[in-house]
Amino acid sequence: MIIFDKLWITMKKKGVSTYKLREQCGIDSKTIRRLRANENIETKTLDKICSALNCRIEDIAEYVENTDDK
């Protein structure tokens, strides 16, 4: 599964709040909730976030094996 734990770390390092991220990316609070819950996010949203934070995808997301499926 894809998790977004690194997103919050990257935002903190860059001094970007969720409000500022929403304003820069044009994403809504529902999307922020989905990111916090590690739910599905469109790639265009990930692109907007990387652009706003001037970072790479691996700075905001990572794949971890889902052990619940086993």
Structure tokens at 57: 């995808």
Q: Considering its fold, how many domains does the chain have in total?
A: 1
Q: What whole-number distance in Å separates Cα of residue 65 and Cα of residue 24?
A: 31
Which ranges constitute the DSSP H helices of 3-69? 5-14, 18-25, 29-36, 43-53
Among 69, 10, 65, 60, which Cα is nearest to 35's? 60
Residue 66: pLDDT band with limits 50, 70, 90 = confident
Q: Quick: pLDDT tens for 11-43.
A: 999 999 999 999 989 999 999 999 999 999 999
DSSP 4: -
Expressed as residue numbers, the domain containing 7 is 2-69
Residue 68: pLDDT band with limits 50, 70, 90 = confident
pLDDT on residue 69 = 61
CATH number of the domain that residue 14 is part of: 1.10.260.40
Mean pLDDT across the chain: 93
Q: What is the mean pLDDT of residues 33-54?
A: 96
